[in-house]
Amino acid sequence: MSAERIATDVPARADIVVIGGGPAGLAAATEAARRGAAVVLLDEQPALGGQVYRAVEANRARGKTLDADYAEGGRLVDAFRASGALAIHEASVWLVEPDGTVGFSRAGAATLMKAERVIVATGAVERAMPIPGWTLPGVMTVGAAQILLKTAGLVPQGRVWIAGSGPLLRLYAVQALAAGGQLAGIIDTTPPGNRRAALRHMGGAMGALGELRKGLAWTQAIRQAGVPWITGAHDLRAEADDDGALGTISFTADGARRSEPADTLLLHNGVVPNVQITRALDIEHDWNQTQRAFRPRCDAWGSTSVPAVMIAGDGAGIVGAAASAIAGRLAALESLRALGRLDQAARDDAAAPLRRALARALAIRPFLDALFAPSPEYLVPAGETIVCRCEEVTASALRQAVSLGCLGPNQLKSFTRCGMGPCQGRICGLTVAEVIASARGASVADVGYYRLRFPIKPLTLGELAAVHAPADPTAPR
């Protein structure tokens, strides 16, 4: 099949359902479909590519390729389209059952689909950067601004500040400037000691010289554009104007407090695995102290404690787009083996070159993890800074709950309503764990994370009611 089938009638069954249309999901679906499996890819966005390759086809059609890395997304999408896999767009997955049943909503209607295998490729989300005033309209993430650039061609204009740390911050600045945008300045919160720590991993990173050069080129491009770059900034705050939107930012740099007018503040504090599905499935998660995030426990193929469910890409721990695509293919190969479509020897033969490529793609990771290790100041917010944006629960309220005997995130919900709003703890989960850990003097690993339950998306009661129910549903089991 040469063209993507248009999903009007959604099949009730599939060999493999892939959740997420980013590099891991595209590559997993392509690999499995090429080898003959019936594959359905569910994605929440209107077009393939995930966040990293967001709107890649539309931009390619307009001759806007951004850069070589982004163009790679176009090749992944082309391969997917040639593979025979079916893509269902604007599908919000709200349920994954251990037996491979996947529930999703599309255009206000809920559907259940049964798969033999589910490959979760839901990628990463930006780590929260809770500062005073971060809930004001006008304060967004760098990732959000990049999505505006990729999907709508919007560039920053006027008093737009970028603050935080991480590769995406630099990449976006370069892309925005190249597209004709203006930036008022970059407030770099990377702890100065990180550089030294990162140098220890320089040896490993030499295998990825291209990546290192790219980073240096980004930095140079930003400096050449004359964008002020403020390092070692502390105590960043966003303050409201008379309308209740962002009006000013302030921070301390070089020992002096500075205040600057701002109409947009873009924050970035690195990315962390999106664990909503794996947590709700009760898969064990481990704390990664280097990346300061939980990641679901899985083996080198992406297999988890739930036999029908595999994980690929950043959702299993941050590895970046190139490694995610390889991980997607590995998960597909193991899925095919589990389905009896591929014997073990064939799986291993196909995997051998992928594993070598994966090692190359991961060479720079320890260096990046060390260089962009988040500043403790923005992991554990102080005072009246809001932690839970939905329920407007402050850091001090969390600390008070801990002083009253609250030991972990789940108790905290009952104490404070923290994490009980529409985002279902997506934004505040890690911050809550960090704040409790710091207040208790415990490790984040011991404090743990929210217990999440399906549905992981806020479908309507009407949608749920329309899902098939058994004959005698109130009978005890």
Partner 1 sequence: MSAAGYDAIVIGGGLHGLSVALHLARRRKRVIVLERRYAGRHSSGINAGGVRRLGRDIREIALSVIAMEMWHSIESLVGDDCGFVAGGQVKVAESDADMAKLARREAEVRALGYDHEELVDQAELRRIVPAIAEHCVGALVSRTDGAADPYRTTTAFRRAAVAAGAEIREDDGVTGLERANDLWQVTCASGTIEAPAVVNCAGAWATRIAAMVGETIPCGVKASMMIVTERMPTFVEPTVGATSRSLSFKQTAAGTVVIGGGHQGRCDVAAERSVVDFGNLAHAARIATELFPVMRGVRIVRTWCGIEARTADEIPFIGPSAVAPGLFHSFGYSGHGFQLAPAAGAALAGLIATGSTNLPIAPFGVTRTSAAAVR
Partner 2 sequence: MFARPHSDTPHLTITVDGQPVGAREGDSVAAALLAAGVVAMRSTPVSQSKRGPYCMMGVCFDCLMIIDGVPSRQACMVSVRDGMRIERQRGPRPLEVDTEDSP
**Site for partner 2 (CB under 8 A): how many residues?**
54
β-bridge pairing 246-253 and 256-261: antiparallel
Q: Which does 418 bind (CB under 5 to 8 A by kind): partner 2, partner 1, none?
A: none
Angle, alpha carbons 326-330-332 (nearest 5°): 115
Residues 433-462 that bind partner 2 (CB under 8 A): 458, 460, 462
Angle, alpha carbons 233-234-238 (nearest 5°): 100
Q: Closest distance between partner 2 and the C-beta of residue 103, in Å?
A: 17
3-state secondary structure of 97: coil
Q: Closest distance between partner 1 and the C-beta of residue 401, in Å?
A: 11
In terms of Cβ atoms closer than 10 Å to its own Cβ (0-12, 13-18, 19+), residue 236 is: buried
> Quick one: 369 or 391, whose CB is closer to partner 1?
391
Residues 100-119 that bind partner 2 (CB under 8 A): 108
Structure tokens given for 21: 């249309």
3-state secondary structure of 261: strand
Per CB under 8 A, does 221 bind partner 2?
no
Q: Which does 137 bind (CB under 5 to 8 A by kind): partner 1, partner 2, none?
A: partner 2
Structure tokens given for 281: 């499935």
**What is the Cα–Cα distance from 107 to 217, expressed in whole angstroms?**
43
Of 294, 236, 281, the C-alpha closest to 429 is 294
Q: Closest distance between partner 2 and the C-beta of residue 138, in Å?
A: 5
**What is the Cα–Cα distance from 147 to 43, expressed in whole angstroms?**
16
Q: Which does 455 bind (CB under 5 to 8 A by kind): partner 2, partner 1, none?
A: partner 1
**What is the Cα–Cα distance from 437 to 435, expressed in whole angstroms?**
5
Structure tokens given for 410: 């789940």
> Quick one: 112 or 144, whose CB is closer to partner 1?
112
- CB neighbours (10 Å) of residue 245? 14
Q: Closest distance between partner 2 and the C-beta of residue 334, in Å?
A: 28
**What is the Cα–Cα distance from 91 to 80, expressed in whole angstroms?**
18
Q: Which does 392 bind (CB under 5 to 8 A by kind): partner 2, partner 1, none?
A: partner 2
Give the contact letters, 72-101, x = binds to partner 2 (CB under 8 A), - = no. Answer: ------------------x-x---------
**What is the Cα–Cα distance from 355 to 362, expressed in whole angstroms?**
10
Q: Which does 78 bind (CB under 5 to 8 A by kind): partner 2, partner 1, none?
A: none
Q: Which does 126 bind (CB under 5 to 8 A by kind): partner 1, partner 2, none?
A: partner 2
Per CB under 8 A, does 178 bind partner 2?
no
β-bridge pairing 86-88 and 39-42: parallel
Selected binder of partner 2 within 1, 6, 36, 46 (CB under 8 A): 46
The values of phi and psi at residue 306, to 5°, are: -100, 110
Q: Closest distance between partner 2 and the C-beta of residue 50, in Å?
A: 10
Per CB under 8 A, does 315 bind partner 2?
no
3-state secondary structure of 336: helix
Per CB under 8 A, does 126 bind partner 2?
yes
Give me the residues that bind partner 1 (CB under 8 A), please.
95, 97, 103, 282, 405, 407, 411, 414-415, 417, 420-422, 424, 453-455, 458-462, 464-470, 473-477
Of 79, 115, 109, the C-alpha closest to 97 is 115
Contact indicator for 342, 300 with CB cutoff of 8 Å: no
Of 110, 238, 219, 113, the C-alpha closest to 173 is 219
- Inter-CA distances, 25 with 115, 277, 304, 345, Å: 15, 15, 17, 24
Per CB under 8 A, does 155 bind partner 2?
yes
Q: Which does 147 bind (CB under 5 to 8 A by kind): partner 1, partner 2, none?
A: partner 2
Q: Closest distance between partner 2 and the C-beta of residue 171, in Å?
A: 16
> Quick one: 344 or 474, whose CB is closer to partner 1?
474
> Quick one: 1 or 466, whose CB is closer to partner 1?
466
Sheet containing 256-261, strands listed edge to edge, beginning at the edge strand earlier in sequence = 234-240, 246-253, 256-261
User: Across-strand partners of 296?
Assistant: 285
Of 76, 108, 86, the C-alpha closest to 18 is 86
Structure tokens given for 344: 């073990």
Per CB under 8 A, does 467 bind partner 2?
no
Per CB under 8 A, does 387 bind partner 2?
no
> Quick one: 227 or 467, whose CB is closer to partner 1?
467
Q: Which does 465 bind (CB under 5 to 8 A by kind): partner 1, partner 2, none?
A: partner 1
Q: Which does 11 bind (CB under 5 to 8 A by kind): partner 2, partner 1, none?
A: none
Give the contact letters, 271-310, x = binds to partner 2 (CB under 8 A), - = no. Answer: ----------------------------------------
Give the footprint of partner 2 on this chain (CB under 8 A): 44-46, 51, 55, 58, 62, 90, 92, 108, 125-126, 135-141, 143-145, 147-148, 151-160, 179-181, 243-245, 263-264, 389-392, 421-423, 426-427, 458, 460, 462
